Structure 1
C-alpha cells in the first residue's frame, strides 16, 4: 500500500469538501456571497447544517478552502527551483507555475471579482496567504545564504511578503481590467518597481 496516498476516509472527506465548495460557489456567484446563508449551502448540498459545520466553520472558509493547500504546492514549487536561483526569480517562477489554466479565465475572473469585492473574503484571503510566508520563508532564507535558526530571518519574511503583495496587485489589476492583460507581465512590472 502506498503510504503517501491518503486513506479512504481522507479521500471521502476531500471529495465532500469539494462538492460543498462547488455548490456554495454556484450559490455565491448566483445570489452574492453576503446574501447566501450557510443553511442554503447545506440544503443545496443535501446535508444538514451540523454536517456542513463539520467541514467548514465559515462561508469564507468554503470559498478559500484551496488556499492553504495552494501554499504547500507553492512551497514544493519553490523548493524544486534550481538551488542557485536568486530568491526573487525563484518566487516568481513558483507563483507563475501555479497560474490557472487560461481556458478557465472567465471562471477565475468571476471568482476573483467576488473575492475582491467582498471585504470579509478579502480579509480572510490575506490571513490565509499570511500562512504562506511561514511555508516559503525558510527556502528564501536558504537562498539568501542565511543559516537556519529558531527564528525566521526577517529579510526572508519581508521578501516573501513583498513578492506576495506584487502577486496580489497583479491579479487585482487583471481583475479590474476584466481579465485583459497578462498577469506575469503585470507582476514583473510591479516587482521591478518594488525592487528598483
Structure 2
C-alpha cells in the first residue's frame, strides 16, 4: 500500500508540482483518508525521501564490498554505481524527480540532510581504508574523501539535469570525480 501511495503522489507531483499537491489530494487519489496517509508517511516530503535512507545503507554495503586494496577514491566512485543503476533504469522518471528535488528549496534542504546521513554511513569504511581506526574522529582524511565524493555526485547530478540526461550520469560522475582524484580512466 505504501508503494501505491508513493506512486500516486509521484504522479500528482509530476502533473501539478510538489507545492501544488496536497496531502488530501494524494490520500483521495489513493482511496484513503488523510489519517491513513499519515500512518504511512509523516509528511508529504517523506513520500519522496522514504527510500533515501535505504540508499545510504546500499551505498555503505557497496563500499564495503569493494576490493580492500582499491584506492578509497576509486572505491567511492564505484560505490555510486548503486545509485546510477537505479536512476538510469527509469531515466525520465528519475530526471523529473531529481529536477523537483533540485528546484524546490525545502526538498533540496531535506535531500542534503539525508546525504549527511550517507556521509556518516560511509565514514567507517573509508576510515578503515585509509588506515585509521573507525573511532578516530581526529583524522580528517575519510570525511574529506566522503564529503568531496558526495559533492562530486551533486555536481554531476546538476550537470545531468542541465543536459536533460543526454550525457550519461556515470560519465558525468567520472568527470567530476576525475577533477579531484585519479584520471577518469583510472576510476574503472
TM-score of the pair, normalised by structure 1: 0.86
Task: Give the match for residue 79 of structure 1.
Answer: 64
Residue 27 (structure 2) aligned to one of 42, 51, 57: 42
Task: Write out aligned runs for 1:160-175 (5 A).
Answer: 160-175=146-161
Alignment: residue pair count? 181
Residue 88 (structure 1) aligned to one of 73, 86, 103: 73
Per-residue Cα deviation, 1:114-140 (whole angstroms, up to 9, x for no partner):
111111111111111110011100000
Task: Give the match for residue 117 of structure 1.
Answer: 103
Report the Cα distance in structure 1 between the residues aligned to 2:138 and 2:46, rounded to whole angstroms: 27
**Cα drift, residue 181 of structure 1:** 0.5
Q: Which structure 2 residue ranges, 5 or more long, are not aligned?
A: 183-188
User: Would you say the 8 A contact 2:87–2:94 is kept in 1?
Assistant: no
Q: Which one scores higher on RCO, CA 8 angstroms, separation ≥ 6?
A: 2
TM-score of the pair, normalised by structure 2: 0.90
Q: Does 1:52 align with 2:37?
A: yes
Backbone CA RMSD of aligned residues: 1.7
Q: Which structure 1 residue ranges, 5 or more long, are not aligned?
A: 1-15
Q: Determine helix, strand or coil for the equivalent of 1:145.
A: coil
Q: Determine helix, strand or coil for the equivalent of 2:180.
A: helix
Label 1:153 to 1:53 Cα distance change in 2 as closer, same or farther (>3 A). farther
Task: Give the match for residue 123 of structure 2.
Answer: 137
